[in-house]
Amino acid sequence: MRPIRRSTLHQLVEERLKRAIHLGDYLPGGRLPSERDLAKQLAVSRVTLREAIRSLEAEGYVATKRGATGGLTVTTLRCPIERFRRVIGTDLRYVDELFSFRRTVEGGAARLAASQRTPKDIARIAETAARLTDGIAIDQFRKADSDFHRAVARASGNRYFVRAIEDARDATFLLVSGTDYKIILSSTRDRHCAILAAIEAGKPDDAEAAMAAHIDESRREIAATLATLHARGLR
């Protein structure tokens, strides 16, 4: 068995907040809830929350703005993105393993969604797909992309798919952030529309195949972009 990794409470709070940022629940430039509200939402003391915030500030996730309109603000995330690029280097095993997982899990979720979807599910998925317009900014792209995949997961009606896909989106965040999103915007928009059409038509085989095609294409595009970045010295 693997050793048990001990985590303090403030580390768990830190990871929860990172996950929320990665999933687009809090966008760069946006403010987090007040310290009092965050502590209440997470059911922790304000002392514990402050420890977590200090760690997030040190890693470049959030910054404190002073003044009447101040508070905790999500940064542009440049530091976490650059740190991630250095960590994975030219080793694309991370990419291969992550997208292999996504292909299997999200393909299954799309298949089940095509059988279980409700009109409300279809409306939610369609709304997220419609957000991927040509002029969309990187932060809005990441959120729309994440929301689409979470909406498909919820349409499956299976909470384990939802949890697994949110884990995958969390892990995918820094990969997408480290590439030129405009390269993958067109294909992502087209693939999302194909997935939506198959789910709406109630065709499980087509929905699974459309999701698999989307994940395969995203993997190729991201891997190629990362290779180019490394060849240029990660500039």
Q: pLDDT higher for 64 or 229? A: 64
Rounded to 5 degrees, φ, ψ at 44 are -130, 165
Torsion sign over Cα 43, 160, 211, 171:
positive
- Name the one residue in this structure whose structure tokens are 């907040």: 17
Residue 166: which residues within 8 A CB-CB, separation 6 or more? 19, 23, 150, 153
Confidence of residue 141 (pLDDT cuts 50, 70, 90): confident
14: Cβ contacts below 8 Å, ≥ 6 apart: 52, 55, 56
For the segment 24-33, what is each residue's pLDDT rounded down to a tens digit?
Answer: 899 998 999 9
pLDDT at 234 > cutoff 70: no
Provide CATH code, domain 9-76. 1.10.10.10
Confidence of residue 94 (pLDDT cuts 50, 70, 90): confident
* Identical fold, 9-76 and 81-231: no
pTM of the model: 0.86
- pLDDT over 70 at 232, yes or no: no
Question: Quick one: pLDDT at residue 233?
Answer: 59
Q: For residue 73, give the 3-state DSSP assignment.
A: strand
Per-residue pLDDT reduced to its tens digit, 101-136? 999 999 999 999 999 999 999 999 999 999 998 888
The 10s digit of each residue's pLDDT in 197-214 is 999 999 999 999 999 999
Does the pLDDT at position 154 exceed 70? yes
pLDDT at 140: 87
Which pLDDT score is estimated for 183? 73
How far is the C-alpha of 107 from the C-alpha of 122, rounded, in Å?
17
CATH topology assigned to domain 81-231: Four Helix Bundle (Hemerythrin (Met), subunit A) (1.20.120)
Long-range own/partner contacts, residues 192-198 (CB < 8 A, 24 or more apart) = 192/128, 192/129, 192/132, 192/148, 193/129, 195/110, 195/125, 195/152, 196/122, 196/125, 196/126, 196/129, 198/110, 198/114
State the pLDDT confidence band at 95, using cuts at 50, 70 and 90: confident
The domain limits of the chain are 9-76, 81-231
Res 69 pLDDT > 70: no
Please give the share of the chain, as a percent, with pLDDT higher than 70. 88
